[in-house]
């Protein structure tokens, strides 16, 4: 168990370092309520990534992450792969679209030292998770595949990822939840 926890720690550290180096000189300008066509384009891009062989976690990072961060560091992209399909394709854990979205939030608002306040990052992560759960009814990959995927208008994970990308954009842009 200790060995596993050490691996997780080093993995998370690697993610933070990769995101830091890919983002350190960028100025993030958002919360300006993007044009609806831009949001739709991001959602369509996320869908296309899945339809061309990328995984859910990768598609979120490539579509939403690239919009806010610019070019995605190849190391960061590699780090997202294992989160696909409910972690390693097992479907037993968190949906990869949710994980990929959390990676984008962390890249934008995560901290690079223990003294930095992470309230904004945690609040956005919580908001994204809540909206995801509200929209899809589940956050676990297997539950989504059983209860959400396959219904009319939501036949594939690509549709879920497109909608998850839209939810993430709304959270990042500060769009209020629909009542």
Q: How many other β-carbons are positioned within 10 Å of the β-carbon of residue 156?
A: 13
Give me the residues paired with residue 94 across strands. Answer: 140
Q: Are 108 and 68 in contact (CB under 8 A)?
A: yes
Residue 15, pLDDT above cutoff 60: no
For residues 101 and 136, give the distance between their C-alpha atoms in angstroms, rounded to a whole number.
Answer: 15
Tell me the residue range of the domain where 73 lies. Answer: 2-23+44-173
Domain annotation covers residue 178: no
This model's pTM is above 0.75: yes
Q: What is the largest CA-CA distance in the chain?
A: 48
Domain annotation covers residue 30: no
Q: What is the dihedral of CA 104, 110, 112, 114, to 10 degrees?
A: -150
Q: How confident is the model at residue 26 (pLDDT cuts 50, 70, 90)?
A: very low
Domain annotation covers residue 80: yes
Domain annotation covers residue 71: yes
- How many independent structural domains does the chain possess? 1
Domain annotation covers residue 29: no
Residue 146, pLDDT above cutoff 70: yes
Q: Report how far apart, in Å, the C-alpha atoms of 78 and of each of 15, 62, 84, 170 are.
A: 9, 11, 11, 26
For residues 174 and 164, give the distance between their C-alpha atoms in angstroms, rounded to a whole number.
Answer: 15
Domain annotation covers residue 34: no
Domain annotation covers residue 50: yes
Residue that has been written with the tokens 């933070």 in this structure: 16
The answer to which of 18-22, 26-30, 31-35 has the lowest mean pLDDT is 26-30
Q: Report how far apart, in Å, the C-alpha atoms of 152 and of each of 47, 122, 148, 159 are.
A: 17, 34, 10, 11
Q: How confident is the model at residue 25 (pLDDT cuts 50, 70, 90)?
A: very low
Q: Are 15 and 103 in contact (CB under 8 A)?
A: yes
Percentage above 70 pLDDT, the chain:
78
Average pLDDT over residues 82-93: 94
Residue 14, pLDDT above cutoff 80: no
Domain annotation covers residue 38: no
Per-residue pLDDT tens over the stretch 97-134: 999 999 999 999 999 999 999 999 999 999 999 999 99
């Amino acid at each position: 168990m200790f060995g596993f926890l050490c691996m997780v720690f080093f993995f998370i550290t690697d993610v933070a370092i990769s995101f830091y180096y890919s983002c350190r000189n960028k100025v993030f300008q958002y919360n300006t309520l993007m044009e609806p066509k831009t949001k739709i384009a991001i959602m369509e891009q996320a869908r296309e990534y899945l339809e061309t062989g990328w995984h859910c976690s990768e598609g979120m990072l490539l579509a939403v992450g690239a919009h806010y961060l610019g070019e995605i560091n190849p190391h960061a992209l590699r780090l997202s792969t294992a989160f696909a399909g409910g972690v390693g394709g097992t479907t037993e854990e968190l949906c990869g679209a949710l994980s990929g979205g959390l990676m984008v939030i962390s890249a934008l608002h995560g901290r690079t030292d223990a003294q930095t306040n992470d309230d904004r990052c945690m609040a956005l992560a919580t908001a994204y998770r809540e909206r995801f759960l509200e929209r899809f009814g589940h956050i676990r990959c297997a539950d989504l595949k059983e209860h959400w995927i396959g219904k009319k208008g939501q036949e594939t994970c690509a549709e879920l990822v497109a909608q998850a990308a839209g939810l993430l954009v709304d959270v990042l842009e500060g769009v209020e939840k629909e009542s």
